[in-house]
C-alpha cells in the first residue's frame, strides 16, 4: 500500500494546478497512469527482493524525484508536440507533483525499508516515522474519497473537457 488507485487519485486532486485550457480529462487520465507507473518495478521485487539494488528493486530509482522530473519533462514535450499547451510550466509542475507524490506516499507505507527518493544521486532509502498506509481504510479516506469529491463536484472543471480545445475554452474576443 498505497494502491495504484490511491496513486492515480492524486492526479485528480492536483488538477487545479493546471491552467484551465490545458486541464483535460485525457491529461488527467495520463497523469493518473504516470502516477501509478513507478510500481512497474515490482518485477524487480520478484527478482531481487523488496530492498535490493536501486536500479532493479521495488521502490528504487523509478520512485525517485529525478525520474518524476524527467517524466514530467517528457510528458510536457509530447503534449506540446501533440497540441499547444497554454502553460507548459504549470503542466510540468502538475506532472512532476503527481509523479513525485508516488514515492512520497510510499514513504508512509506499512512495509519495506523505504524509498530511494534521491536516486541516482544518493543511495539511501527514506521512510517516514509513521506507517500511515496500513490497509485500505486510510487511503480510501485520504485519497479515494477526496478524488471522488473532486470528480462529483467537478472541481477544476475537467469533466466537461474532452482533450481538444473547444470554442467555450477559448478566451472571448467580443468587440464590445
Ligand atoms: Zn510504489
Over the chain (176 residues), the average pLDDT of each successive run of 10 is 92 95 93 95 68 67 96 96 93 98 95 90 92 90 95 84 49 38
The pLDDT value given to residue 128: 93
C-alpha 164 to ligand 1 mean position (Å): 32
Strand partners, 126: 115
C-alpha 142 to ligand 1 mean position (Å): 17
The pLDDT value given to residue 35: 97
Contacts of 63 (CB under 8 A, 6+ apart): 38, 41, 102, 103, 106, 115, 116, 117, 119
Cis peptide bond upstream of 2, omega within 30:
yes
C-alpha 38 to ligand 1 mean position (Å): 6
C-alpha 148 to ligand 1 mean position (Å): 22
Q: What does the DSSP 8-state code read for residue 159? A: G
For the chain, what percentages of helix, strand and coil (3-state, to nearest 5) are there?
60, 0, 40
Q: Are 92 and 72 in contact (CB under 8 A)?
A: yes
C-alpha 102 to ligand 1 mean position (Å): 6
C-alpha 31 to ligand 1 mean position (Å): 15
The pLDDT value given to residue 166: 44
Task: Report the 10 Å Cβ neighbour count for 12.
Answer: 24
The pLDDT value given to residue 58: 82
C-alpha 156 to ligand 1 mean position (Å): 27
Helix (H) or strand (E) holding 73: helix 65-82
Amino acid at each position: 500500500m498505497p494502491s495504484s488507485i490511491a496513486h492515480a487519485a492524486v492526479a485528480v486532486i492536483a488538477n487545479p494546478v493546471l491552467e484551465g485550457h490545458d486541464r483535460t480529462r485525457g491529461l488527467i487520465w495520463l497523469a493518473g497512469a504516470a502516477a501509478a507507473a513507478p510500481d512497474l518495478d515490482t518485477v524487480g521485487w520478484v527478482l531481487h527482493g523488496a530492498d535490493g539494488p536501486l536500479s532493479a528493486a521495488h521502490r528504487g530509482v523509478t520512485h525517485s524525484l529525478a525520474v518524476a522530473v524527467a517524466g514530467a519533462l517528457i510528458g510536457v514535450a509530447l503534449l506540446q508536440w501533440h497540441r499547444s499547451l497554454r502553460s507548459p510550466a504549470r503542466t510540468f509542475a502538475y506532472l512532476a507533483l503527481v509523479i513525485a507524490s508516488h514515492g512520497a506516499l510510499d514513504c508512509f507505507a506499512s512495509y519495506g525499508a523505504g524509498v530511494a527518493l534521491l536516486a541516482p544521486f544518493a543511495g539511501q532509502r527514506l521512510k517516514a516515522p509513521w506507517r500511515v498506509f496500513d490497509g485500505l481504510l486510510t487511503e480510501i479516506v485520504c485519497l479515494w474519497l477526496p478524488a471522488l469529491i473532486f470528480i462529483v463536484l467537478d472541481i477544476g472543471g475537467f469533466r466537461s473537457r474532452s482533450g481538444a480545445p473547444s470554442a467555450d475554452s477559448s478566451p472571448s474576443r467580443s468587440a464590445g
